[in-house]
A and B are shown apart, each in its own frame.
Chain A
Amino acid sequence: MKNRILVCAGTSGLSAGAGEVIEIFKSELKRLNLRGKFNLVKTGDRGLFRDVLVDIITDGKRVTYEHVKPADVKKITESHLVKNTPAAALTAGKSYEEFFANQTRVVLKNCGEIDPENIDEYIGTGGFEALKKAIPLPPEKIIDEIKKSGLRGRGGAGFSTGLKWEFCHKEKSGVKYMVCNADEGDPGAFMDRSILEGDPQSVIEGMIIAGYAIGANEGYIYCRAEYPLAIERLNKALKQAEERGFLGNNILKSDFSFKLSIKKGAGAFVCGEETALLASIEGKRGTPKPRPPFPAQKGLWGKPTVINNVETLANIPHIINNGADWFSAIGSAESKGTKVFALAGKVRNTGLVEIPMGTTIKNLIYGPGGGLKSKRSKLKAVQIGGPSGGCLPETLLSTPIDYKALAKTGAIMGSGGFIVMDEKTCMVDIAKFFLGFTVAESCGKCVPCRIGLKRMYEVLDKITKGRGETRDLDFLKEMCETIKSTALCGLGNTAPNPVLTTLKYFRREYEEHINNRVCDANTCVELVKFEVIEEKCVKCGKCSTSCPVGAIEWEKGRTAEINKEKCIKCMACFAACDFKAIK
């Protein structure tokens, strides 16, 4: 096999300049006359945010470079490709190893390793072997295998995938549909995008197998319009799969035919909900419907439909290839397999992490995450599951990440958002933030969600502005419980979770806001005084230079002073001051 140069070029890589890096590599290979010796491969993102990641694999030996700037490429080629000595100053450090060594990569296995736009690379890693294995089997056998594996939906609710398939398989209907939910809308979750950008064929293979198992001949991938690169790569992947006979009529010379097309979402979070998603594919407003009937009975255009999320489908080929027992050996007693999390916030290594279910929250933060970003800060909370999830305090760090254990805390597995917060994050503000999101995204069909969430938001807004009253907390709690039990769909049912969990674990912060009109995190700007604390000020003038509107008067040797009339409360001075001298 030829030597390979891998450049991570998913949305993250490209935004950090991977496109330019690739171009320079190209011209360097030409200049050094090495085009015959090296394959330059444009891969998806591997998951770690390290600007541009480049791997050079020569004779099976791999060297990884991180933070590669266009100007560095020449240094790498001159030293590594010509003299065969890696450019040591640019190679990836300890945190890179720490990030990857602590993972179990199943669905992310190919991300950052293969060219997603070339089906041969996928086939080279064992791609479509699962389909070849599945097609001669009776559908019931495949469904049994998936049921036995214990795979549950990775999109949020965590329903058994095998059962869902079985319900649909049993429906008697000439027309059925298989739908992939790629409307990843949770702020802070982007694993589905990375899988689609880095390994689209794995999702397509999963869909074809699912289609065969349930008896559908037609499928849709409903993808967010905000993911243009994923859509582009999916389109290419579909075309190549058709050319190779994995899609279309008589797949692998069998009687089974399957057609796949892409539907672009138009920007509505609620469309991640199954029945709303189907309405949107039908070209209507994406509003949910009461269930039953479930989509497996009456779904798209009234026909039995299975909807699976991207990460769920990417697991399917692996289960078929390696068997249900292999899959169920990974994870905890309650939850099988792995889960991808989008690690972000105040943690050192940010990016996508795939870990076995049952790993504790602590091991995720201090293993792949490498601990907190700044040694000086203290971990305050972890937010799991986005707008449907909850904020867990430090005392619950030993909670294992599985469906049951997380549900017990009041959070949910959700789609895999995982945000680490320190003392600079205000929990009341976070609750308000998520509620602001769900208020904006509520479709308005049912009263609890449309009006209830709005009333809750107003109360939280009042508290963050220093106008809260003690009785507000009881009101919030009552509203949460009512909405949870009466809203029409998952969006409304879970929207109170961020408020409930912060009330449960961080009640003191709410009380501080209400009783003392203080926001310790200095996040609620209405409660911030914007005054310099004379005893703490070292008269360095950093705040003054950081102020974009010139509202801070300072001269050498003098304590700075903030002109409140000019101040736009942008918080730039808080960020600039190293001595916490502004209150």
Chain B
Amino acid sequence: MNIDIEKAEKIIKKHAAEKGALIPLLQDMQTEYGYIRADAVKLIAEKLDIPSVEIYEVITFYAQFRTEPPGKHTIKVCQGTACHVMGGKQILNYILTTLKVKENGTTTDGLFSPERVACLGCCGMAPAIMIDNDFYGNCTIQKVDEILDGYRKKTG
């Protein structure tokens, strides 16, 4: 599958004149395609006249950028201090075990991509997870099971 060149060019054009354009440009690309595609990098390199390697330098440095397509739902498992103290590590381990997936990977059904985040800033509801844009606080293993089931039903 090729990217929609016109759309990608539009994003590049939007930022081309901006000082320090590369990061906002990549952020917009990721919003558009869900991840940073190799052909998009090639296009940016051509249009902005910078070597691809410099673009990859930035992509691999920042946690936000991914080069693989994400699952349908992103699960952000908070590993902040408060969550850690309240059992966040066990929640992350359980999610990985029960979904049979590695961190930053995607389940074989393409439904979930779990990842750890440093802090969601919901320390009062620790341990917390965020699925797509929804927060779930005071998580227990039972609660996680219910939440995941909810998403499975919604999709299935």
Contacts and interface: CB of A to CB of B under 8 A. Distances in A.
Interface stretch (B4-12, B87-95, B106-114): B87-95
Nearest to B25: A283
Contacts of A546: 141-142
B62 A266 contact: yes
Given A266-B62, A269-B118, A571-B87, A386 B23 contact: no
Contacts, number: 143
A268 B61 contact: yes
B142 A548 contact: yes
Interface stretch (A106-114, A183-191, A488-496, A554-562): A183-191
A406 to B, nearest CB: 17
B104 to A, nearest CB: 12
Interface in A415-472: 417, 419, 421, 425, 430, 433-434, 437, 441, 443
Contacts of B51: none
Contacts of A345: 81-82, 85-86, 123, 126
A226 B81 contact: no
15 contacts: A11-B122, A12-B122, A15-B125, A16-B137, A187-B79, A266-B27, A269-B118, A283-B23, A344-B81, A344-B123, A350-B82, A417-B81, A546-B141, A570-B97, A572-B90
A366 interface: no
A15 B87 contact: no
B94 A433 contact: no
User: Closest 8 A-B residue pairs measured CB to CB?
Assistant: A49-B124, A15-B135, A190-B121, A267-B63, A344-B123, A187-B80, A266-B62, A344-B82
Interface string B116-156: 01111111111000000111010011100100000000000
Interface of B: 19-24, 26-27, 57-58, 61-65, 79-82, 84-87, 90, 93-94, 97-98, 117-126, 133-135, 137, 140-142, 145
A394 B90 CA distance: 27
B61, B85, B97, B142, most chain A CB atoms within 10 A: B85
Contacts of A188: 80-82, 119, 123
Given A188-B123, A226-B121, 8 more contacts: A12-B121, A187-B84, A266-B26, A280-B23, A345-B81, A419-B82, A433-B81, A443-B61
Contacts of A386: 81
A441 B134 CA distance: 26
Given A49-B125, A266-B62, A421-B85, A187 B24 contact: no
Interface residues of A, number: 58
B117 A266 contact: no
Contacts of B63: 266-268
A523 B126 CA distance: 17
A285 B118 contact: no
Given A267-B62, A433-B81, A12 B20 contact: no
A258 to B, nearest CB: 17
B119 A548 contact: no
Contacts of B118: 185, 187, 269, 437, 441
A131 to B, nearest CB: 26
Contacts of B19: 282-283, 301
B62 to A, nearest CB: 4
Contacts of A344: 81-82, 123-124, 126
B82 A266 contact: no
Contacts of B140: 572, 575
A269 B80 CA distance: 13
Nearest to B94: A570
A12 B122 CA distance: 6
A34 to B, nearest CB: 31
A283 B82 contact: no
A433 B84 contact: yes
A345 B122 CA distance: 11
Nearest to B134: A15
Contacts of A83: none
A344 B62 CA distance: 28
Contacts of B126: 344-345
Contacts of B141: 546, 548, 570, 572
A425 B81 CA distance: 11
Contacts of B135: 11, 15
A301 B20 CA distance: 10
A185, A344, A351, most chain B CB atoms within 10 A: A344
A230 to B, nearest CB: 10
A264 interface: yes
B20, B23, B81, most chain A CB atoms within 10 A: B81
A121 B97 CA distance: 49
Nearest to A426: B85
Interface string A1-19: 0000000000110011000
A421 B135 CA distance: 24
A12 B58 CA distance: 31
B122 A15 contact: yes
Contacts of A226: 117, 120-121
Given A15-B137, A346-B85, A282 B20 contact: yes
Interface string A543-574: 00010100000000000000000001111100
B20 A283 contact: yes
B130 to A, nearest CB: 8
Contact of B81 (A266, A419, A548): A419
Given A342-B123, A345-B82, A575-B140, A285 B57 contact: yes
A225 interface: yes
B125 to A, nearest CB: 6
Nearest to A220: B20
Contact of B124 (A265, A282, A350, A443): A350
Contacts of A16: 125, 137
A437 B98 CA distance: 24
A153 interface: no
B47 to A, nearest CB: 14
A383 B82 CA distance: 10
